[in-house]
Amino acid sequence: MQGFPYDDLHELPEEQRRSFEFLSAIFRSQEEIWNDPYRGLSFNPFDVDAVASFQRESLINNTTIASQLSASSFNLGVLRRALPTLVNELQAKGLEPELDTSTLVEYVRENLVEVVSSILEPSESDLGEMAERFGTQPSILSIIGDALLQPPLMQLASVTERGYLDSWRETACPVCGHDPIVAIKTESEVWRFKCSYCRAEYRTDIFKCPNCGETGHDHKEFLILGDSQEYEIASCSQCGRYYKIINKAKQKKALPEGLEDLNTYFLDYVAQERGLRRLDADGPDES
């Protein structure tokens, strides 16, 4: 279980292969949004002042950039145009067997403002209620909403400043609010979480458990793995959560951008065999 175990999709275990196929389908169907000059946003993401204002607000109020956005921050016309391709691609991978593709597209198209708002301010009840109305699962709506908002949020992440990303003190991503699972370690021994969703790289406090906040040395464990010791599993014995570290300085071949989590699934096996839970797993910890 060491090193990078495959170059070929067929060698991926079933669950990872399915995730990989889903991700590829999403990437393909986001092209329409990437082709938009503002990447699906209703304002110019290259406007330095606008981005600076988001960053300032974020640090002052400890709030993510996504939570400062609303449905009107997006070009809903562009998102609507991308919808049929996206849903078609995902349906081809078996996303929602209960509904036909055109019905699902129509539902989301008509309720796009609600879907977008529920992604920006995640609250299970909104999505649950909406999904029930549509006759589908909340998870289906989140997959579609997440896929539509990924290019604009990746765009915003790419224009945020290093100083901002290093000033953030929370575990969740400062740009999109997703919990991290992968951290990148570079030669300078600085570690940064790398958001699997918007790809922001932001400060990790290595002296503190990112889940429970435990700071005692006795509770931190680092398990080093890989042919050139390029991978680590960082865990906390207090809460049992772990995240994965990729040591770029020791890596022979860089993992594909945005697929770092999926490409290190073997670390999840090792960690979960030890009874650890992913840092980004939902639900409360057992005490």
Q: Let me know: does 105 contact 83? Beta carbons within 8 Å.
A: yes
CB of 268 to Zn ion, least distance (A): 18
Among 87, 130, 173, 271, binds Zn ion (CB under 5 A): 173
User: What does the per-residue mask of binding to Zn ion show for 33-72, with x meaning CB under 5 A?
Assistant: ----------------------------------------
- Whole-angstrom Cα distance, residue 227 to residue 230? 7
The values of phi and psi at residue 10, to 5°, are -65, -20
Is the Cβ of residue 83 or residue 209 nearer to Zn ion in the bound state?
209
- Whole-angstrom Cα distance, residue 56 to residue 164? 8
CB of 113 to Zn ion, least distance (A): 22
Is the Cβ of residue 134 or residue 242 nearer to Zn ion in the bound state?
242
CB of 227 to Zn ion, least distance (A): 29
Q: How many residues bind Zn ion (CB under 5 A)?
A: 15
Amino acid at 218: D
CB of 45 to Zn ion, least distance (A): 15
- Whole-angstrom Cα distance, residue 160 to residue 201? 10
Q: What residues numbered 211-250 form the site for Zn ion, per CB under 5 A?
A: 211-212, 214, 236, 238-239
- Whole-angstrom Cα distance, residue 91 to residue 89? 6
Is the Cβ of residue 182 or residue 195 nearer to Zn ion in the bound state?
195
End-to-end CA distance of the chain: 30
Using DSSP, state whether 149 is helix, strand or coil. helix
Burial, 264: exposed, middle or buried (Cβ in 10 Å; 0-12, 13-18, 19+)? buried
- Whole-angstrom Cα distance, residue 232 to residue 130? 40
Is the Cβ of residue 131 or residue 267 nearer to Zn ion in the bound state?
267
Examine residue 176 and tell whether it contacts Zn ion (CB under 5 A): yes
CB of 230 to Zn ion, least distance (A): 23
Q: Which of 222, 259, 228 has its CA nearest to residue 244?
A: 222
CB of 258 to Zn ion, least distance (A): 11
User: What does the per-residue mask of binding to Zn ion show for 184-213, with x meaning CB under 5 A?
Assistant: -----------x-xx-x--------x-xx-
> Could you list the residues that contact Zn ion (CB under 5 A)?
173, 175-176, 178, 195, 197-198, 200, 209, 211-212, 214, 236, 238-239
